[in-house]
Amino acid sequence: MPPETWDKTFQELKSQYLTRSSERLDQIGDLLTNMAKSPGDVNLLRDLQRQFHWLAGSGSIYGFPQITKLGTHGEEFCDKLLRNGRGLTRSDWDKCKALLDALRVTFSGDDDPQKQTIEKPLPKSEHDGIEVMFVDPEQNHFLFLAKLLEEQGMVIRHLKTAVSALESCSQKMPRACLISLPLSDASGYELVERIRILPGGQETVIFFVGAKSGFLDKVQAIHCGADGFFQMPVDWESVEKRLKYLLDRGKAQNFRVLSVEDDPDQAYFIRAVLESAGYQVHHIPDPMQFEEALLSFNPDLVLLDILLPGMTGYELARYLRQDERWATMPILFLTTQNQLEAHIESARAGADDHLVKPIAPALLLSAVASRLERARFLKNLLHRDGLTRLLTHTAFMEQAQAVVAQCKRNQNRLASLMLIDLDKFKQVNERFGYAAGDKVLISLSAVLRQRLRSSDVLGRFGGEEVAIIVEDLEEYDAVNLAQRLLHDFANVEHRAPDGTVFHMTFSAGVAMLDPKVMDVERWRKHAEQALKAAKNNGRNCVMKILGGKR
Amino acid sequence: MKVLIIDDEEDIRSIASMSLGILGGIDVVEADGGEEGISKAAELQPDAILLDMMMPVLDGPGTLAKLRENSATKHIPVIFLTARAMTSEVEKLKQMGATGILTKPFDPTTLASQVKAILGVQ
């Protein structure tokens, strides 16, 4: 391929295109003038639609995606007008005029395709801008990790000595510190202790990386206040995973606590303490409302009194434990009962803790926080695929169900389902072995995670199929996003164990949810059809299906 | 390999033909409408036809129907170029005998490889 010839030719064609485009815009202007005079003339409207159609079909090819977008709007708008056949109203005309103005601005504003494509910035990674400090006398231990973190927008500070690290921390505390042992000017443990007493030092995540790692080293590391100890040679991806997990820990999580308490004063106390720490609290005085509250409030933790009207807290706990839906739900008792028997009975009923009233607010908070933390960790393990860390099929479908329910309540919300299937994946497994195939899946999940918002739902449908739910995007943008994901993924270099470098692509089907007529199964079927169409269309492409809502 | 592009828009024709020619090493013939396309197809016997969906006078599906009726052209693979790749539409075009569908706007740097992928050639 002679790229220079191509570039030159492309630039020539582009300048011709720009000339013709400005003539086209003038023609649109003339059409609009005529349409203002005879608003019922269908032929004028057809001509206008053709002009928009042409812009829609050509803009992106020449590096003007915004033109394609505006043209598509115009074309669809004309289509609507032609179909309802009532002629052009003043506001219709204004809208066409506004589109023309926007087209003019877009063409005249900048003809640099690079800039044109930044119409909508890619969603930022949720860890964008987070500062991480590396303390490493050799300055070379963390190179790979630095690359992994920088890819996600994190900012790295490299320091050589404990003294400079402390200095840097006291000016601005990073969100995480990774310390390579041994240091030249102090013991790493001492450094951690010093960091912890600086302002903000309690919250920062601290890891050690070093050669020594007997059990006692790990204990000493934890004793001095570090969050983890990794032994050389390190699996950097697991360090990254653990780091991100701990960074997210401190985020204001909107955990929901359901409190069952018949004493209004106690209920008030519990609510005040937990809400002050940022939890959402729902309180019911009557255990008969328990099931309904579980379903509607969907709590992350329940706090039960033992003596309740008509029922005991033990029975509620047993009720929860016999249902696998609530398997990971932490149950805490908060009661005046302090006999040994009551503690034993609580444990038997499956409770996680038995707290005795009156209770200090700090104790209540720490009990709640630690149980929630543990539950989140377990849920993560249970609901996520072991290889890609994406949601399992069941967990994904549960989330999909929840999205459908939300959209049925609020029909202004938009949701699209993307099904992604790797092209010719079996050949990778056959040629390079399953380990290489697994790596491809991991890098697909990494690309998706980096490019999507944390609110987007990602799941693995077994094999090489991945599903994504993206909310609040119009169909056009959802398809566009899928195309960008494909583009990014296709650029990733994969390396087989024998050193061969190869590239992979995927096919994707996108379906918008129309909550009026669709349930989750129907939605999925639509996306599957679109995916099938993409496969039939030669793979390596994105296809959509008309979901009704446009 | 020879490909015939039938599209009434000069801008689309020229960039598609440059892209297929320069980046894909394909010989390209152009036609600016359905009727001209059909006669060029019969005469030049291209290996494939890239056909625009929306054209005045004779549109894409109309052109395809005529290509399929004509014994001189009915064996030539036809790939549609369309801005609306709805699944229902794709199925319909396939039933009519289309070999593949490419969406507009296309990426000029990968058009040739997409065409080749649909035709199953290297």
The per-residue pLDDT for B86 is 63
Ramachandran category for residue A428: left, alpha or beta (phi over 0 → left; psi -120 to 50 → alpha): alpha
Tell me how far apart the alpha carbons of residues A313 and A509 are, in angstroms, rounded to a whole number: 49
CB contact under 8 A, B15 and A20: no
Judging contacts by C-beta atoms under 8 Å, the chain B residues touching residue A541 are: 103, 114
- With bands split at pLDDT 50, 70 and 90, how would you rate the model's confidence at A3? low
> Is pLDDT of A474 > 60?
yes
CB contact under 8 A, A16 and B11: yes
Nearest residue, CB atoms, A59 vs list B91, B105, B109 = B105
The per-residue pLDDT for A417 is 95
A-B C-beta contacts closer than 8 Å: 93
CATH classification for the domain delimited by A3-116, as one of 1.20.1270.10, 1.20.120.160, 3.30.565.10, 3.40.50.2020:
1.20.120.160
The per-residue pLDDT for A350 is 86
Query: How large is the average pLDDT for residues A240-261?
Result: 77
The per-residue pLDDT for A378 is 77
The per-residue pLDDT for A548 is 43
Rounded to a whole number of angstroms, the distance from the CA of A403 to the nearest CA of chain B is: 24
Per-residue model confidence as pLDDT tens digits over A108-139: 764 444 433 333 334 445 677 889 999 988 77
Residue of B nearest to A13 (CA): B15
Per-residue model confidence as pLDDT tens digits over A493-535: 888 888 888 999 999 999 999 888 888 999 999 999 999 999 9
Token look-up 């839906």 returns A325
Judging contacts by C-beta atoms under 8 Å, the chain A residues touching residue B102 are: 537
- The architecture of the domain spanning A131-249 is 3-Layer(aba) Sandwich (3.40)
Instruction: Count Cβ atoms below 10 Å from residue A162 Cβ, excluding itself.
Output: 22
> Is pLDDT of A549 > 50?
no
Residue B101 lies in a domain: yes
CB contact under 8 A, B18 and A10: yes
CA distances from residue B54 to A131, A388, A461, B18, B33 in whole angstroms, order as listed: 53, 43, 38, 21, 10
DSSP A210: E
> What percent of the residues of chain A are helix, what percent strand, and what percent coil, each to the nearest 5?
55, 15, 30
- With bands split at pLDDT 50, 70 and 90, how would you rate the model's confidence at B122? low
- With bands split at pLDDT 50, 70 and 90, how would you rate the model's confidence at A327? confident
Q: Do residues A467 and A420 touch, judged by C-beta distance below 8 A?
A: yes
The counts of H helices and E strands in chain A are 20, 19
Q: Which residue has the higher pLDDT, A462 or A488?
A: A488
Tell me how far apart the alpha carbons of residues A530 and A438 are, in angstroms, rounded to a whole number: 26
Residue B90 lies in a domain: yes
* Strand pairing report for A256-260 and A280-284: parallel
Judging contacts by C-beta atoms under 8 Å, the chain B residues touching residue A53 are: 54, 83
Residue B122 lies in a domain: no
Identical fold, A3-116 and A393-545: no
Nearest residue, CB atoms, A9 vs list B9, B22, B87 = B22
Residue B67 lies in a domain: yes
- With bands split at pLDDT 50, 70 and 90, how would you rate the model's confidence at A214? low
Domain count, chain B: 1
Per-residue model confidence as pLDDT tens digits over A363-400: 888 899 888 888 877 776 777 777 777 888 888 888 89
Rounded to a whole number of angstroms, the distance from the CA of B117 to the nearest CA of chain A is: 6
Residue A348's Cβ-count burial label (10 Å; 0-12, 13-18, 19+) is: exposed
Q: Which CATH topology does A256-382 take?
A: Rossmann fold (3.40.50)
The per-residue pLDDT for B51 is 94
- The architecture of the domain spanning A393-545 is 2-Layer Sandwich (3.30)
Tokens of A106: 């877009």
Find the domain containing B33 and state its range: 2-117
Token look-up 């519990």 returns A270
For chain A, the distance separating the N- and C-terminal CA atoms, rounded to the nearest angstrom, is 40
Per-residue model confidence as pLDDT tens digits over A413-424: 889 999 999 999
Rounded to a whole number of angstroms, the distance from the CA of A452 to the nearest CA of chain B is: 23
CA distances from residue A515 to A81, A404, A544 in whole angstroms, order as listed: 25, 7, 17
Say which CATH number the domain at B112 has: 3.40.50.2300
> Is pLDDT of B11 > 60?
yes
Query: How large is the average pLDDT for residues A230-244?
Result: 78
Tell me how far apart the alpha carbons of residues A286 and A198 are, in angstroms, rounded to a whole number: 47
Distance of CA A271 to the CA centre of its chain: 31
Q: Do residues A386 and A452 touch, judged by C-beta distance below 8 A?
A: no
Q: Which residue has the higher pLDDT, A312 or A251?
A: A312
> Is pLDDT of A184 > 90?
no
CB contact under 8 A, A538 and B83: no
ipTM of the complex: 0.71
Judging contacts by C-beta atoms under 8 Å, the chain B residues touching residue A532 are: 87
Q: Which residue has the higher pLDDT, A201 or A527?
A: A527
